[in-house]
């Protein structure tokens, strides 16, 4: 009887969280760590997908100059430096992500038009903007996903901003509901880990 009551309470709490997400939690989820100014700012790559169905801008302060962060960004990708997030979750989907703990010289020479892979069957992310120590913008080969990393130097460190612009023009109402209530919070869990992973590496790696 007690177990049934606990289960009932858990279901009720979960239902309340889902119901309140669009009104109370969604903006926080989409702009975790970012200031209002950063969330509203025009960033490199915004013009590559003008009307996204999903827009997130997340950020973190890294206590080191942009030049210490940049090498970790350019080596990202499957079979490269990984994504600095939960590898075991990434690899459940066969993405072959193994987050590096060191700067990998063989992956530092990145150029416009290069491809950063996301698993064998995943999207191919093309380098569309490459401004050393400032902006790295990737766009999927189908044009429906633009991922920008921007470095803004501040006193004592750098603001690392990650912006995702995603279009799902053919999605059904059910899929849009699933994306909002499941995929959006899930992306925050992974991106928080990624941003913190980059921060830790850039601050401590010598």
Q: Is 35 helix (H, G, I), strand (E, B) or coil?
A: coil
H-run or E-run covering 14: helix 2-20
Give 68-113 pLDDT, tens digit per residue.
999 999 999 999 999 999 999 999 888 889 999 999 999 999 999 9
Residue 65 DSSP class: -
Q: What's the pLDDT score for residue 188?
A: 93
Q: What's the pLDDT score for residue 169?
A: 84
Q: What is the pTM of this model?
A: 0.86
- Angle between helices 184-204 and 66-74 in degrees, nearest 10: 120
Give 11-26 pLDDT, tens digit per residue.
433 344 444 555 556 8
CA distance 122 to 184: 19
H-run or E-run covering 157: strand 157-166
């Amino acid at each position: 009887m007690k177990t049934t009551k606990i289960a009932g309470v858990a279901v009720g709490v979960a239902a309340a969280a889902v119901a309140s997400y669009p009104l109370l939690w969604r903006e926080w989820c989409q702009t975790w760590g970012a200031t209002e100014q950063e969330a509203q700012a025009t960033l490199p790559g915004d013009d590559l997908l003008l009307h996204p169905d999903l827009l997130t801008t997340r950020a973190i302060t890294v206590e080191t100059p942009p030049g210490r962060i940049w090498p970790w960004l350019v080596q990202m990708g499957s079979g490269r430096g990984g994504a600095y997030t939960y590898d075991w979750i990434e690899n459940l989907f066969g993405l072959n992500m193994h987050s590096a703990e060191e700067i990998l010289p063989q992956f530092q020479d990145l150029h416009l038009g290069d491809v950063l892979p996301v698993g064998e069957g995943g999207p191919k992310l093309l380098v569309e903007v490459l401004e050393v120590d400032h902006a790295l913008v990737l766009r999927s080969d189908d044009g429906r996903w633009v991922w920008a990393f921007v470095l803004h130097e501040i006193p004592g460190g750098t603001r690392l901003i990650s912006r995702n612009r995603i279009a799902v023009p053919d999605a059904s109402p059910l899929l849009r509901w699933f994306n909002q209530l499941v995929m959006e919070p899930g992306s925050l869990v992974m991106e928080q880990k990624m941003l913190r992973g980059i921060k830790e590496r850039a601050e401590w790696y010598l």
